[in-house]
């Protein structure tokens, strides 16, 4: 079946447009986002969320949020709550359509009975090892279970007993009766129900048998009237099985369409591996700002707009590929460039005394909030005789192309004055630079010289007696290898030991005292930052650096023409 994409539509949208044109499903479009609540969702899930909600929105349809909670023990309400919060934060609304596969347990049980009664399912007493053995391989056909031909009534009875808890875990399973010789291993009499004496986060201890994912997923879609069931490529081989269930049960048939999952370099994207990082204490939690989880990205300062833009740009494909994480960073830079208020923060301060500035004088200098946003206005920044600049904005013995401050050289202090370095004060024993002595030119107020004299360097700064201490967290990639998912090394050995750099001596301009949790800023020349909700306190704000200003993606784009 080949369907051509119309211009401007991706292949999934083209299929949907075609179905609409042909009057399928009475013109309805229903999609769903079906997470298993066994972890916090990551940027890959975000792609799926944007795709499912986006497509429904674009074609006048609706999108359900359904938790595929068929795995008690691994699942938890903590995860349900976090996933709901994350979907909302990304900007999507499931309205009244919040569902749980566990709400369908009764129906699914009835479906299973129906299959047994049709002679299409049987209770099997092989051990899990035997079932695996009998299954065969890709090159060898499987072997039929000795229980396969047991009478229908016997299977019905045994299945009911499984349900009432008469048997031990692993002693009995319900299997579909399809074809042990099928070239598709999923069709070789797959297990559809197993005994699990586990507590479920919603149904409690009511059930001791649980449907396998493959038996729950397609039927849940059908029960909800999902017209287009979008899933990742690894489910392509499961589609014949899902179609078989739907046909045998004679219920509404959703159309499954597979797309390539998102892979990002320098990232792992499996809840199992992310959980491993959390449990081993390699990160501070699911929402550690280095994590590719939605909650981690939010804490780091990524905006919902930037993530939606990213999802748009990567689009959907039929073949797996790996996306450069620099593109995600590019998206957030573009967004914050338009919106983030510019402020001055000195991450690693070096004291500067301006010798010809009166000791008791203070003045307020006007600073523009965002040159990209004419409505953003200005604010006043205090200036005085003692200021701090960035340590690496000074070099005593600079190489040729160093345009920042050095002895005898002049630079501009942003929004303030030109200063010239006249002396360097050092620790007598260690030689460490403790302080610079400078002079300023009163005829350069605002950072522009009346005589048209130019300087090459501009530094940000804070006034010593007005500055507020701030905490700063600088992040680097969480993994040292570009493709940690396929490395031979163990996950802990792949974690970048320098992925977090905590700065404790940083200083911010006084306006930062009122910064609110989640608020984002551009620290001039240092990057985009946002206030960390967890680490900030009333007397000290902690800022996460979302990204630096260096845009390797844009550079790459330019190089490629
Ligand atoms: P993980 O292996 O990370 O746990 P999963 O597929 O098992 O992922 P689910 O909770 O079952 O996690 O996924 C919910 C939905 O999100 C599914 O429809 C799945 O296809 C989609 N999804 C998961 N990972 C990605 C990804 N990397 N790219 C795109 N979609 C994804
Ligand atoms: Mg899954």
Judge whether 266 and 138 are in contact, CB under 8 Å.
Answer: no
pLDDT, tens digit, 9 for 90 and up, residues 277-299 = 999 999 999 999 999 999 999 99
Cα dihedral 384→385→386→388 (10° resolution) = 60
Ligand 1: which residues within 6 Å by Cβ? 34-36, 44-45, 47-48, 231-232, 261-262, 269-271
Q: Which helix (H) or strand (E) holds 558?
A: helix 552-559
> How would CATH label the architecture of 24-259?
3-Layer(aba) Sandwich (3.40)
Residue 451, C-beta contacts closer than 8 angstroms, at least 6 positions apart: 443
Given 97, 148, 160, 261, which residue is catalytic?
Answer: 261
Task: Give the residue-averaged pLDDT of 72-81.
Answer: 93
pLDDT tens sequence across 303-356: 999 999 999 999 999 998 899 999 999 999 999 999 999 999 999 999 999 999
Q: Tell me the HSE value of 243 on the side-chain side, using a 13 A CA sphere.
A: 10
271 counts as catalytic: yes
Taking only the tens place, the pLDDT of each residue in 240-273 is: 999 999 999 999 999 999 999 999 999 999 999 9
Q: Which protein residues have a CB closer than 5 Å to ligand 2 (ion)?
A: 36
Any idea which architecture 271-341+471-560 has in CATH?
A: Beta Barrel (2.40)
Indicate whether 561 pLDDT > 50.
Answer: no
The answer to whether residue 1 scores a pLDDT higher than 60 is no
Task: Write the class of the CATH domain 345-460.
Answer: mainly beta
Average pLDDT of the residues in 465-476: 97
What is the reported pLDDT for 8? 79
Q: Determine the pLDDT at residue 560.
A: 44
pLDDT at 181 over 50: yes
Tell me the two tokens of residue 192: 């559809």
DSSP string for residues in 235-285: GGGGHHHHHHHHHHHT----EEEEEPPEEETT----HHHHHHHHHTTSSSS
Determine the atom of ligand 1 nearest the C-alpha atom of 230.
18
Give the mean pLDDT of 472-479.
97
Residue of the CA atom closest to atom 3 of ligand 1: 270
Mutate to test the pocket of ligand 1, among 44, 312, 315 (most ligand atoms within 8 A of CB): 44
Q: Is 550 a catalytic residue?
A: no
- The distance from CA 472 to its chain's CA centroid, rounded to whole angstroms, is 22
Indicate if the alpha-carbon torsion angle 270, 275, 277, 283 is positive or negative.
Answer: positive
Pair of tokens at residue 399? 């190489």
Q: Where are the beta strands (DSSP E) in 41-172?
A: 62-67, 98-100, 121-124
Tokens of residue 234, six digits? 């690894």
The helix (H) or strand (E) run that includes residue 210 is: strand 209-211
Active-site pick, 32, 271, 300, 308 = 271
Which residues, listed in sequence order, are joined to residue 475 by a DSSP beta bridge?
500
Return mean pLDDT, the chain: 95
Chain centre to alpha carbon of residue 365: 40
Condensed to tens digits (0 to 9), the pLDDT of residues 512-531 reads 998 999 899 999 999 999 99
Same CATH fold, 271-341+471-560 and 24-259? no
Q: What are the pLDDT digits (tens) for 368-412?
A: 999 999 999 999 999 999 999 999 999 999 999 999 999 999 999
Per the listing, tokens 């704000």 go with 541
Residue extents of the structural domains in the chain: 24-259, 271-341+471-560, 345-460
Instruction: Give the DSSP letter string of 398-425.
Output: --TT--SB-BT-EEEETTS-EEEEEEEE
* Coil vs helix vs strand at 345: strand
- The sign of the torsion formed by the CA atoms of 271, 297, 544, 76 equals negative
- How does pLDDT run across 128-146, given as a tens digit for each residue? 999 999 999 999 999 999 9
Q: Where are the beta strands (DSSP E) in 27-83?
A: 30-33, 62-67
């Amino acid at each position: 079946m080949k369907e051509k994409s119309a211009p401007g539509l991706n292949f999934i949208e083209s299929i949907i447009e075609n179905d609409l044109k042909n009057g399928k499903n009475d013109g309805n479009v229903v999609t769903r986002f079906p997470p298993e609540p066994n972890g916090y969702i990551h940027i890959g899930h975000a792609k799926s969320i944007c795709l499912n909600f986006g497509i429904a929105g674009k074609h006048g349809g609706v999108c359900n949020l359904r938790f595929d909670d068929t795995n008690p023990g691994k699942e938890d309400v903590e995860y349900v709550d976090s996933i709901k919060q994350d979907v909302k934060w990304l900007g999507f609304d499931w309205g009244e359509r919040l569902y749980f596969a566990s709400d369908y347990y009764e129906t699914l049980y009835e479906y299973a009975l129906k299959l047994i009664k049709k002679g299409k399912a049987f209770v099997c007493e092989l051990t899990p090892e035997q079932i695996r053995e009998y299954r065969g391989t890709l090159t060898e056909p499987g072997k039929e279970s000795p229980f396969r031909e047991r009478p229908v009534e016997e299977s019905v009875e045994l299945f009911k007993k499984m349900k009432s808890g008469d048997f031990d875990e692993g002693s009995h399973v319900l299997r579909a009766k399809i074809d042990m010789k099928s070239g598709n291993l999923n069709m070789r009499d797959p297990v559809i129900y197993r005994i699990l004496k586990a507590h479920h986060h919603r149904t409690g201890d009511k059930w001791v048998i649980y449907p396998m994912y493959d038996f729950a997923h397609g039927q849940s879609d059908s029960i909800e009237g999902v017209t287009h069931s979008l899933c990742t490529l690894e489910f392509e081989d499961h589609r014949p099985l899902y179609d078989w269930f739907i046909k045998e049960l004679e219920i509404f048939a959703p159309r499954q369409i597979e797309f390539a999952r998102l892979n990002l370099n320098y990232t792992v994207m499996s809840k199992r591996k992310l959980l491993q990082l959390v449990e081993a204490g390699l990160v501070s939690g699911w929402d550690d700002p280095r994590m590719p989880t939605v909650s981690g990205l939010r804490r780091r300062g990524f905006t919902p707009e930037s993530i939606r833009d990213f999802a748009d740009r990567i689009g959907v494909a039929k073949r797996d590929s790996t996306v450069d994480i620099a593109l995600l960073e590019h998206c957030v830079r573009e967004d914050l460039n338009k919106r983030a208020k510019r402020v001055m923060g000195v991450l690693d301060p070096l004291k500067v005394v301006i010798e010809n500035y009166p000791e008791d004088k203070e003045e307020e200098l006007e600073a523009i909030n965002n040159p990209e946003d004419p409505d953003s206005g200005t604010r006043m920044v205090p200036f005085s005789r003692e200021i701090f600049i960035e340590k690496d904005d000074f070099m005593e013995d600079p190489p040729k192309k160093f345009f920042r401050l050095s002895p005898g050289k002049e630079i501009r202090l942003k929004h303030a004055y030109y200063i010239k370095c006249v002396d360097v004060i050092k620790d007598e024993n260690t030689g460490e630079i403790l302080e610079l002595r400078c002079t300023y030119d009163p005829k350069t107020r605002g950072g522009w010289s009346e005589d048209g004299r130019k300087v090459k360097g501009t530094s940000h700064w804070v006034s010593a007696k007005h500055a507020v201490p701030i905490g700063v967290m600088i992040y680097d990639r969480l993994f040292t290898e570009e493709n940690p998912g396929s490395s031979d090394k163990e996950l802990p050995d792949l974690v970048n030991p320098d992925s977090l750099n905590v700065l404790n001596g940083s200083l911010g301009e006084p306006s930062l005292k009122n910064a609110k949790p989640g608020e984002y800023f551009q620290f001039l020349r240092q990057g985009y930052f946002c206030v960390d909700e967890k680490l900030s306190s009333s007397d000290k704000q902690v800022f996460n650096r979302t990204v630096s200003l260096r845009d390797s993606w844009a550079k790459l784009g330019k190089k490629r023409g």
